[in-house]
Amino acid sequence: MHSSPQLVIVVTTVASHDDAERIAHELINSNLAACVQIDGPVSSHYHWDGTVQTSTEFRLTLKTNSGSWQTLKEQLTLLHPYDEPGILMFPVTDTTEGYLEWVNQHTLRR
């Protein structure tokens, strides 16, 4: 019996809305994400180059499945404008069967 891939959420941020839109379109068109939501602007505070930085960013929340995760991570790293992008993956422990089926219909499963 083959089990269905698990739903996962991937989150990253970029500095411009144009970069967010470009990445969203690439990942949707390549069937690596079923949905990409863009939030922002958000205010980010972090350590970088030895100082505390503050910047305005746009957050991308991607819905995909565990079978697409490794390829999505590789592609997102290539598409991302940052030298060291924060790319976080969160397994979803429960969802509706219909939503999981929809995600799986629109993403690659390996």
What does the domain layout of the chain look like in residue ranges?
7-105
**Is the pLDDT assigned to residue 89 strictly greater than 80?**
yes
b/e code 40-58 from CB counts within 10 Å (16+ = b): beeeeeeeeeeeeeeeebb
pLDDT at 1: 40
Distance CA 98, CA 84 (A): 35
pTM (predicted TM-score) = 0.93
pLDDT at 87: 98
Distance CA 100, CA 25 (A): 21
- The CATH class for the domain spanning 7-105 reads alpha beta
Average pLDDT over residues 23-48: 97
pLDDT at 3: 67
pLDDT at 6: 93
Average pLDDT over residues 48-63: 97
**Is the pLDDT assigned to residue 55 strictly greater than 70?**
yes
Cα pseudo-dihedral 46, 48, 50, 56, rounded to 10: -60
